[in-house]
Structure 1
Amino acid sequence: MKYTYCTLKLYLLLLLPLTLILQPAQAQQLYRPAKDLGELFEHVQLQHVFQDSKTFPDCVPLSDPDKIVYEYRQQRNRPGFILKEFVLEHFELPPQPATGFTTDSSHSVTEHIERLWPVLTRTPDDAGGSLIPLPHAYIVPGGRFREIYYWDSFFTMLGLQVSDETELIQNMVDNFTHLIQTVGHIPNGNRTYYLSRSQPPFYALMLRVLAQQKGREVLSKYAPALKKEYEFWMEGAETLTAANPTHRRVVRMPDGSILNRYWDDRPEPRPESYIEDVELAEQSGRNPEEIYRDIRAAAESGWDFSSRWFADGKSISTIQTTNLIPVDLNSLLYHMELTLQEMAVLAGNKEEARRYEKLAKARRDAVLKYNWNDKDNFFYDYNFVKKATTDIPTLASVYPLYFNMVKRKPAAAVAKKIASHFLRPGGVVTTLNHSGQQWDAPNGWAPLQWMTIQAFRNYGFEDLANTIAKNWVLLNEDVYQVTGKLMEKYNVEDLTLDAGGGEYPNQDGFGWTNGVLLKLLSEYPALYRLTEQEAAAQKE
């Protein structure tokens, strides 16, 4: 039979839905280190074969995992057996890209970032192991983070937008769309051990960035994917009752409204932080499954870890993430609902547009009811078990302002508290607690600087926004001048000290720092610090 081009095209289109149906099953067949290696994985992690717990989950097995496990069982009790030597014989260590990149002190910080984009770019390949292949190029954060990350990527895109890297923005949006279509949601990152959780849902905001570059029709094109992403977060909402008020990421509030929490489907140690989680569970004296769930849910939040999740505001052993209604998560979902409403308007579907508008309004009203504390005039996370706000002040409070969810009076109250309690010489501090966790004082993070600055600009608090931007940009530039690096996080309280805390050392690179800094410099050009060569050239 002779096929014309049109016939072949129609044939491929008919096969496409079948392809999409098969792909999730294929995802289930991907290598999952903890599951596929069993006791070998546990022994490698608990014996601290590698300094960084993330190293072994990122290794690529050189043969079938079942065969490797069989060989391990045969050899482990033999005299002279050394576990690390066995691992190095049967696994390929995660690659450290040999870029040959060196910092040139003659380059300005903006030139440095422009030179870094290719260094942080990964091209599509089937590297094997736990890495989930993606169809297009993407930016990684840097350092130990060798894969794409969900919410990081929005802030990275802000810088790519300034660099006019529209194709790369498009590629990254298409990668996330691919993940939605194949695994049903956007995971924490493109690793199989991240599949059970997501991260703060910034996909709708990524579409806004792409629409700024390519036109509003972008929203229509990606409407099916955003709907599926929304369904992931809202799964089970229709089953909630007063007697059974929770299911995965949805919670029915006492007044019948629906809000969201962070969650993870696997109550077990994180493969990439295995020994840390096991030790924490043992030290806490709590039900291990309970603490593993709360640890993983906090990892989904992106704030891993922060005292905002701790029952006593101090110790990670009291972590209670799944009992909390986070103000930032529900603000992001409010924006997702408004974006879906706009997409429905573009499609001419008035009924669907009204439905999403109603959902967004109900969510906004619920956030104002449950997350707002009238006594403190501030937004907090809400503990739906205790039926009270946590009263732990954090920068998550600015999210309702970022999305214009409140009137000017409450916005002014939030701005006043941020100015009086959070403003530091290097920007704004994440929380007011010095807990030793990386998402607490004295650390500041690029994404939260951006959200805070834009939140205050929305309400005309320009002086405060400008001060935060100035403090943050100058800190970034000063550290770059001294070290030649842009860091994952910064100490915004004592500018002579590095940021610290958390499960791993401060990383450099760094995707979202680069993106936010480049965007802020494009909006505040007066903060651009000349290199010695540029200053000399101007004098001439």
Structure 2
Amino acid sequence: MIKKNVDQFKRSLVRTSQRITPINRKDPDELFGHLFHEVQAQQIYQDGKTFVDVVPKKRWRRIQREYLEASKKPDFNLQEFVNQHFHDFNPSHAGHVPQPAESARQHVTQLWPQLRRQAHKASGSLIPLPYDYIVPGGRFSEQFYWDTYFIMLGLAVDNQWGLINGMMKNYSYMIQRFGYIPTANRTYFLSRSQPPFFSAMVKLLATRPRKVGGSSLVLLEYFPLLLTEYKFWMKGHKQLDSADQIATGRVVKMPNGTVLNRYFDNKNTPRPESRREDIETAQKSPNANKAKIYLDLRAGAESGWDFSSRWFGEACCIETIQTTDIVPVDLNCLLYDLEMTIAQCYGILKQKALRKKFIQAAEKRAEAIRTYCWNEATGFFYDYNFRTGRQMPHATLAGVFPLYNGVATKKQAEHVAEMLQREFLRDGGLRMTLVDNGQQWDAPNGWAPLQWVAVCGLKRYGLDELAEEIRTRWLASTERVFADKGKMIEKYDVDSESRIGGGGEYPLQDGFGWTNGVYAALYDRFDERCPK
């Protein structure tokens, strides 16, 4: 009882601080200036994310002054200075070591406590949240936006509804404070969001067995926040009425006048957590506009697919990245779902005119997706480059979102299934793209969230045989790695015998939040509750 009262007090304190204590929204590179640039350039930490997460032992202005003085000395040692002035944000967690007879499914249940965190006070770049949450694991010690939905799937089958509810309250807190859901609760993530799965989270929470109120009560509780989320993604759409402007922020006016969306970021500088890598990419790029390169890298990070050939002009080369020129098929399908969920809420409130308005907006968006993203020749959905007026040439697993969210026609869904069977399906599950270029969101890697999206999308259109084949192969991949390594990992190589994924800007991570969630959901046949 005492612990419960203490936790309630801490949650109240976090919510109160929202009103009386402003968060310092400066990124670590802005706070620490030259010190930050040198630490990242000299790779004092192997992983660039480590330094943006460390906790300063003194006020940042004092550290700056002491650095300016100390760095002038001939025997100055940057590593020693950092060790003296910062401490690790989150010492490594040992994690749950599986017992000899423990299955992968049992292991997932045992991992939830190891991945549970509290953040009742600011700690370096960490933004406090009122409720406990599950982190992905490894280098990721925050409540990440789209990861959380897939984590929640596993929590739901393990009947952890209280934890799900708390994580939803954290998102309520962030939407009320910032006007949107940032990538995660870090100050350096406040300039961007992630794929908008909030409406899916609300509907998942609404499936919780209840004695009173039912799903309608949950939808209405989160309805104002759904509207705020929609406002964030649609900001600037009225500006596109002028004939000489086709894009601003996250909105794009298509040739037929329909407004669709793109991934974006509110800054055009190197990402603090990947400063060295971003500068190297910009230096290699033939584009003289380095700010545009940084913006496209940041937008690629908002997409969650950081990085993939789907954003590149040349499939092999990240320096040709052009994320903000692209209308992504997955983003717009998720916003279709958001519009339909808002319409459902208006229906509950008997607001017929507003319900009709959002249904029409959703239908208009769906028609535009089918117009600009569907390729009849290949029978698949592609991202669309609104600068060139052409579809992107790279087929990616994002093409299953029109099935997942119910945007595709029955015939289109059947063609997508054929393409998945022919080009994407491997022994270990579905690969992300058809390009093998060393990027982590390209072949031969498969990622748990897209396996879920594909399985649910196929089932939605009655394509159960292929859905079951994907489900079976993915579960087998996860179980193979667990049997060999005793771990749930971030991504899997669906072609290799080992199934160990790789590529990207950082080493393979263990944990792993959404792998756990999707595995548990597919194992327990929670896929029967896929979106309908």
Fold shared by both chains (TM-score > 0.5): yes
Q: Is the 8 A contact 1:136 1:175 kept in 2?
A: yes
Q: Is the 8 A contact 1:193 1:271 kept in 2?
A: yes
User: Could you say if the C-alpha distance between residues 447 and 225 of structure 1 is closer, same or farther in structure 2, counting changes exceeding 3 Å?
Assistant: same
Say which SS state the counterpart of residue 127 (structure 2) adopts: coil
The counterpart of 2:32, out of the listed 27, 32, 37, is 37
Structure 1 letter corresponding to 2:36 = F
Q: Which residue number in structure 1 is paired with residue 134 of structure 2?
A: 139
Is 1:218 the counterpart of 2:221? The answer is no
Q: Which residue number in structure 1 is paired with residue 436 of structure 2?
A: 434
Q: C-alpha offsets along residues 330-375 of structure 1, whole Å, 9 cap, x if unaligned?
A: 0000000000000111112112111111110110011111111122
Structure 1 letter corresponding to 2:347 = V
Q: Is the 8 A contact 1:31 1:130 kept in 2?
A: no
Structure 2 letter corresponding to 1:384 = F
Is 1:418 the counterpart of 2:413? The answer is no
The counterpart of 1:358, out of the listed 357, 360, 365, is 360
Q: Which residue number in structure 1 is paired with residue 3 of structure 2?
A: none
Q: Is the 8 A contact 2:95 2:114 kept in 1?
A: no
Structure 1 letter corresponding to 2:32 = L
Structure 1 letter corresponding to 2:229 = E
Is 1:161 the counterpart of 2:130? The answer is no
Q: Which residue number in structure 1 is paired with residue 238 of structure 2?
A: 238
Q: Which residue number in structure 1 is paired with residue 410 of structure 2?
A: 408
Q: Which residue number in structure 1 is paired with residue 115 of structure 2?
A: 120
Q: Is the 8 A contact 2:343 2:356 kept in 1?
A: yes
Q: C-alpha offsets along residues 174-233 of structure 1, whole Å, 9 cap, x if unaligned?
A: 111111110111011110000000000000000011000043110000000110011000
Q: Is the 8 A contact 1:31 1:129 kept in 2?
A: no
User: Could you say if the C-alpha distance between residues 502 and 100 of structure 1 is closer, same or farther in structure 2, counting changes exceeding 3 Å?
Assistant: closer
Structure 2 letter corresponding to 1:223 = F
Structure 1 letter corresponding to 2:521 = K
Q: Is the 8 A contact 2:199 2:337 kept in 1?
A: yes
Structure 1 letter corresponding to 2:143 = I
Structure 2 letter corresponding to 1:344 = Y
Structure 2 letter corresponding to 1:52 = D
> What is the distance in 2 between the residues matched to 1:146 and 1:110?
23
Is 1:499 the counterpart of 2:501? The answer is yes
Residue 56 of structure 1 and its aligned partner are, at CA, apart by 0.5
123-132 vs 466-475, greater mean Cα deviation = 123-132
User: Could you say if the C-alpha distance between residues 484 and 100 of structure 1 is closer, same or farther in structure 2, counting changes exceeding 3 Å?
Assistant: closer
Can you give the 5+ residue segments of structure 2 that lack an aligned partner in the other structure? 1-11, 528-532
Q: Which residue number in structure 1 is paired with residue 87 of structure 2?
A: 92
Q: Which residue number in structure 1 is paired with residue 9 of structure 2?
A: none
> What is the distance in 1 between the residues matched to 2:439 and 2:100?
32
The counterpart of 2:471, out of the listed 453, 469, 472, is 469
Q: Is the 8 A contact 1:324 1:381 kept in 2?
A: yes
Q: Is the 8 A contact 2:89 2:124 kept in 1?
A: no
Q: Which residue number in structure 2 is paired with residue 184 of structure 1?
A: 179
Residue 47 of structure 1 and its aligned partner are, at CA, apart by 1.2
Say which SS state the counterpart of residue 153 (structure 1) adopts: helix
| Aligned pairs for 1:240-255 within 5 A | 240=240, 241-255=242-256
> What is the distance in 1 between the residues matched to 2:147 and 2:136?
7
Identity percentage of aligned residues = 46
Residue 92 of structure 1 and its aligned partner are, at CA, apart by 1.3
Residue 378 of structure 1 and its aligned partner are, at CA, apart by 1.1
Q: Which residue number in structure 2 is paired with residue 385 of structure 1?
A: 387
Residue 497 of structure 1 and its aligned partner are, at CA, apart by 4.9
> What is the distance in 1 between the residues matched to 2:95 and 2:455?
36
Residue 406 of structure 1 and its aligned partner are, at CA, apart by 1.9
Residue 464 of structure 1 and its aligned partner are, at CA, apart by 0.4
> What is the distance in 2 between the residues matched to 1:132 and 1:123?
11
Can you give the 5+ residue segments of structure 1 that lack an aligned partner in the other structure? 1-15, 526-540
Structure 2 letter corresponding to 1:95 = N
> What is the distance in 2 between the residues matched to 1:497 and 1:459?
29
Q: Which residue number in structure 1 is paired with residue 482 of structure 2?
A: 480
| Aligned pairs for 1:315-334 within 5 A | 315-334=317-336
Residue 29 of structure 1 and its aligned partner are, at CA, apart by 2.3
Say which SS state the counterpart of residue 135 (structure 1) adopts: strand
Q: Which residue number in structure 1 is paired with residue 5 of structure 2?
A: none
Q: Is the 8 A contact 2:455 2:467 kept in 1?
A: yes
| Aligned pairs for 1:19-30 within 5 A | 23=18, 26-30=21-25
> What is the distance in 1 between the residues matched to 2:58 and 2:347?
52
Q: Is the 8 A contact 1:486 1:514 kept in 2?
A: yes
Q: Is the 8 A contact 2:119 2:127 kept in 1?
A: no
Q: Is the 8 A contact 2:428 2:499 kept in 1?
A: no
Structure 2 letter corresponding to 1:250 = V
User: Could you say if the C-alpha distance between residues 377 and 399 of structure 1 is closer, same or farther in structure 2, counting changes exceeding 3 Å?
Assistant: same
Say which SS state the counterpart of residue 296 (structure 1) adopts: helix
Residue 96 of structure 1 and its aligned partner are, at CA, apart by 2.1
Structure 1 letter corresponding to 2:37 = E
Q: Is the 8 A contact 1:425 1:495 kept in 2?
A: no
The counterpart of 2:492, out of the listed 490, 493, 516, is 490
RMSD (Å) for aligned C-alpha atoms? 1.6
Q: Is the 8 A contact 1:58 1:93 kept in 2?
A: yes
| Aligned pairs for 1:502-513 within 5 A | 502-513=504-515
> What is the distance in 2 between the residues matched to 1:221 and 1:182?
17
